[in-house]
Structure 1
């Protein structure tokens, strides 16, 4: 089976296409990657969005952030994430940091449930997930020969 794709022009339907909303609720998979964080900053700055930043690692509980920042270097990965959340909030965003693997249905349901409880309906999902470190698919192929 060969999968193919065709362009499908929506012509004339642009009025029905939803736009980004002020205070909209957006889930960003790969929310802690460079692309995810750039998009989060754009949504925070321009729409005061309510964001669910989804990643495969979790942040400490918010009540622990001050202690974390006081006892870890600013270059520490978790410290940088905490600082980024604080910066996004300064821009007007509300943030949920959720741990979930996009390939795990149960984890995704849990993240969506958390978002729904806090923010209500999700208005959009931005897929920015992708592992950019470690072995790629090329390495196992090269090892097999």
Structure 2
């Protein structure tokens, strides 16, 4: 892993993420296209640039939910004013996927991709907002839940 690529493996574009169509009956089985689970989604590079400008190596945040949580809380204004929400959410999702071997990226309809397992997916744009804007107790509870999920 280099400074520019803090996550292992090739970074895939959003188009490579498995899509689960919205509005389909769940009892209808349709053949799924062969696809490789995406574990490293590209598109977080502007967030990595913010990390470096802030004196933080992106690799230091790439495997620790608490560290990235603390970082985005401290830099929420820079993230929002710089239009970096999607890049930061992509980085956060890659961190989540890295916590578990069975985790991957999934898209539901046209929505921004989610990260997680078959049992629990995190809508990373919403999770990013929660981490940046919640009170301290809610923030700690959120981190505890994610860390517990990562150990499961």
Q: What TM-score results when the alignment is normalised by the length of structure 2?
A: 0.28
Bigger-Rg structure (1/2): 1
More strand as a share of residues: 1
Q: What TM-score results when the alignment is normalised by the length of structure 1?
A: 0.29
